[in-house]
Each structure stands twice: as structure tokens, then as C-alpha cells.
């Protein structure tokens, strides 16, 4: 069977892949947006975890065949399942997974595979379940999925760029794909592919700046998190929805709770207004969230009338090896590419502080923040 994808064209599925896709666990991903509340800024940003999972699998297949000239079914299966554990609203619910279940969405993915019919589908095929799980954890060839230049990132950059309508995430995928290799069990790039990888990592930086950390999206995210956390804390919403629910289910449940003002504001796009927004080197930041909360609470402003966001850019956390045409190591990308070295410097320790509130309190909060931010 083939599925037609808007980004990658025709995706061919094996019988086992099709059976996994037809489970309720994969089908749930059709109803979880990849980009959370970004649709409030970019109306087309309604792409889902389902199509991203298919795309990641397809890119994994193409990279794997280029490098090894063979099929590795367990690796493809791991790519297909890598996001199956996401909670409703994707990363906007990561805090709840950690706080209430003490797990990450990666942990949930592994639990789902081990404890559901997906395990039987894999075990009854020609695949090894242990290999699928190891690849899912990023071990050995699993780095093709999880690497900084791997299939997961390639797909979400191309897909998010297309659906938001911004050009920053456009990358030369075909060039990158043809210049990748495995070295010491990690995904590496041949010297001829440096420019392609540079453009990809730059694209990620610009997507963070313009899409992922857009102030309107961050405000909606924090309003949702505050409402969701309160509902979970007060047991007004079933904790199991973190692993079984969809965006619409959770949103509608929150909307119908007695104290649903924040969710109603998101629905009607009557979001809080920025009071303060700036970027800092977190090593030099002289204030923390609690000090900001204290300053606002001293004004007798309700907890549901403001939000605070500390957002970190995510620097690369692994070495990307650069090889010559004979697969001899030339060095790490940041030592070979001055551009990437500079980009790492931009990412490192960079943090964005955002405070937003009910419009009627902007002047009061702004005055209080200026006092504590600039008089230290």
C-alpha cells in the first residue's frame, strides 16, 4: 500500500507498518497538532504528529538505503513509532507528563509498544522487538532518527515550514540525504555535505526565532498550561488523558470546567498582551521566575491574569562528525565550519523571558518589572 504525503510524495508501507498505523494508538496522532497553538499565528499550522511520524519513517528509509544499501525494518518501525507517546498538544503537555507521571513522551512511547497490541504486531512479523526498542532509544543505527541532522529533525523542519508558510525551514534535503554516513554509531556528514547541513541548522535557528518561540504562541502555550495544570491538580480531568486523549478532547473538557476563562480566551483569540519580552544570556540574568511572580502578586493581581515564559533555545548536544570521501575523520562540524561554531555560540545560554497579562494590568506590571529588572 502507498500513502500520498504532501512533503515527501508516495510512502510505501509494509504489511506490519500498515497494521501498526491502523491501531488506535497511531490513529490518535491524527488529532494531535505538531505545532500546538501556532495556528493562532500561522493559520495553516494544523499539521499533525501522524503525518510527521509517516514522514520520519520515510526519510529514515531513504537515508538508511543510501548508507547501507539495505532495508532495516526495525529501524523503520522505530521511526514510525517515535512520537506515539505524545500527550495532547504535544510539547505543551510535556510539563504534565513530568509532573504527574514522572515520564517523558519517549518513556510513554516505549510503554505503549511494550504493553499494547503493537508488541504483538512486531513479534508476529519478521522484526525483533528488542531491536525496535533499542533504535527508539537512539542506540546505534537509531541515531539516524534522533541525530541533530537525523530524520526526525529533517521532517519537522520541512513540514513545519510548509504548513506555517515561512521560508526559514526550507532545506536541501536531497543533498543532505546523499551526503550522510555512519561513523562510530552516529550519523556523520561527508565534507561535500557541509553546506547542506549548515543550511539545515541555520533553518532550525530561524524556525525557533520566528515560529517555535513566537510571542503569541508562547502566550497561548502558557495560558493553556496554567489551565491544564489547575485542572489536573484538582482532578477535574482524568490523568489517563495524558496518554489516551486528543487535542479536542482535552480542550473541550477544559472549556466546560467552571473556571474556564483562560481556555475561552484562547478559543476566541483574546490572548494576554505582552508586558515584557527580551532575550538574555542566562548566566547574566539577575532575576528568576519566583521574583517576577512575587512582584506581580504584590500588586494583588490574580494568578489567572498573567503568564510568564522562560524559553531556552536548544543547542546541539552531540558531535557531528565530518568525513572525507574515504570516510576518514576530518573533525567535528563545529571545528570544520566557522558558521556552525558561531551558531552554537548564539544558542548557548540564550534564554527568552516573556511576561504577558490581562490588558488592564499592563502598565502596573510593566512598572513593577522595570523596577526589579533594572535596579539590581
β-pairing, 321-323 vs 186-190, is parallel
Q: Does pLDDT of 234 surpass 90?
A: yes
Q: Enter the C-alpha cell of residue 54.
A: 509517516
Mean pLDDT of 318-328: 88
The answer to whether residue 374 scores a pLDDT higher than 70 is: no
Tens of pLDDT along 78-102? 999 999 999 999 999 999 999 999 9
- Give the model confidence (pLDDT) of 288-302 as tens digits: 778 888 888 888 888
- According to the model, what pLDDT value does residue 221 have? 96
Tell me if residue 367 falls in helix, strand or coil.
helix
* pLDDT value of residue 318: 63
Instruction: Supply the pLDDT for residue 60.
Output: 97
pLDDT of 317 > 60? The answer is no
Residue 20 burial class via C-beta count within 10 angstroms: exposed 0-12, middle 13-18, buried 19 and up? buried
Question: How does pLDDT run across 144-166, given as a tens digit for each residue?
Answer: 999 999 999 999 999 999 999 99
For residue 367, the model assigns a pLDDT of 87
Q: CB–CB of 163/55 below 8 Å? A: no
**pLDDT of 193:** 93
Average pLDDT over the chain reads 91
> Quick check: 179 pLDDT over 70?
yes
Asked whether the predicted pLDDT for residue 26 surpasses 90, the reply is yes
pLDDT at 169 over 80: no
Calpha distance 107→356 (Å, rounded): 33
The reported pLDDT for the residue numbered 376 is 53
Q: Is the pLDDT of residue 315 over 90?
A: no
Residue 245: is its pLDDT beyond 70? yes
What does 26-95 look like in DSSP terms, one character per residue? HHGGGGSBTTGGGGGTSTT---BHHHHHHHHHHHHHHHHHHHHSS--HHHHHHHHHTTTTPPTTGGGGHH
CATH fit for domain 2-209, picks 1.10.3290.10, 1.10.10.410, 1.10.3210.10, 3.40.50.300: 1.10.3210.10
DSSP string computed for 254-292: HHTSSS-HHHHHHHTT-PPEEEEEEEEETTT----HHHH
Question: Cell numbers of 375, please?
Answer: 535596579
Q: What is the pLDDT of residues 194-214, one digit of tens each?
A: 999 999 988 988 898 889 999
Per-residue model confidence (pLDDT) at position 340: 83
Mean per-residue pLDDT for 104-129?
A: 94
- Domains in the chain: boundaries: 2-209, 215-313+350-374
Indicate if the pLDDT at residue 348 is higher than 80.
no
**DSSP conformation class of 165:** T
Amino acid at each position: 500500500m502507498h500513502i500520498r504525503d504532501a512533503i515527501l510524495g508516495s510512502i510505501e508501507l509494509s504489511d506490519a507498518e500498515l497494521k501498526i498505523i491502523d491501531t488506535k494508538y497511531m490513529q490518535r496522532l491524527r488529532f494531535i497538532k505538531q505545532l500546538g497553538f501556532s495556528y493562532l499565528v500561522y493559520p495553516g499550522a494544523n499539521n499533525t504528529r501522524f503525518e510527521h511520524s509517516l514522514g520520519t519513517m520515510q526519510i529514515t528509509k531513504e537515508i538508511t538505503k543510501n548508507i547501507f544499501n539495505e532495508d532495516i525494518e526495525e529501524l523503520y518501525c522505530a521511526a514510525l513509532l517515535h512520537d506515539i507517546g505524545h500527550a495532547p498538544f504535544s510539547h505543551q503537555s510535556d510539563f504534565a507528563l513530568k509532573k504527574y507521571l514522572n515520564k517523558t513522551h519517549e518513556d510513554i512511547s516505549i510503554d505503549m509498544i511494550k504493553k499494547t497490541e503493537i508488541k504483538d504486531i512486531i513479534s508476529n512479523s519478521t522484526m525483533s522487538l528488542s531491536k525496535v526498542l533499542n533504535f527508539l532509544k537512539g542506540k546505534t543505527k537509531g541515531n539516524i532518527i534522533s541525530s541533530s541532522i537525523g530524520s526526525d529533525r529533517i521532517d519537522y523542519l520541512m513540514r513545519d515550514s510548509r504548513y506555517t508558510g515561512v521560508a526559514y525551514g526550507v532545506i536541501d534535503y536531497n543533498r543532505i540525504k546523499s551526503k550522510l554516513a555512519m561513523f562510530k554509531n552516529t550519523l556523520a556528514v561527508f565534507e561535500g555535505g557541509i553546506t547542506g547541513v549548515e543550511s539545515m541548522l541555520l533553518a532550525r535557528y530561524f524556525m525557533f526565532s520566528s515560529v517555535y518561540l513566537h510571542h503569541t504562541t508562547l502566550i497561548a502555550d502558557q495560558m493553556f498550561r496554567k489551565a491544564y495544570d489547575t485542572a489536573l491538580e484538582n482532578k477535574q480531568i482524568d490523568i489517563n488523558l495524558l496518554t489516551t486523549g486528543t487535542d479536542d478532547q482535552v480542550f473541550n473538557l477544559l472549556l466546560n470546567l467552571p473556571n474556564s476563562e483562560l481556555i475561552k480566551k484562547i478559543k476566541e483569540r483574546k490572548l494576554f498582551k505582552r508586558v515584557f519580552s527580551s532575550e538574555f544570556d542566562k548566566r547574566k540574568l539577575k532575576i528568576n521566575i519566583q521574583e517576577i511572580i512575587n512582584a506581580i502578586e504584590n500588586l494583588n493581581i490574580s494568578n489567572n491574569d498573567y503568564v510568564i515564559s522562560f524559553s531556552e533555545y536548544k543547542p546541539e548536544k552531540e558531535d557531528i562528525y565530518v568525513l572525507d570521501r574515504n570516510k576518514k575523520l576530518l573533525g567535528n562540524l563545529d571545528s570544520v565550519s566557522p558558521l556552525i561554531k558561531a551558531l552554537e555560540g548564539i544558542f548557548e545560554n540564550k534564554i527568552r523571558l516573556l511576561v504577558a497579562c490581562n490588558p488592564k494590568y499592563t502598565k502596573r506590571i510593566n512598572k513593577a518589572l522595570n523596577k526589579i529588572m533594572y535596579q539590581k
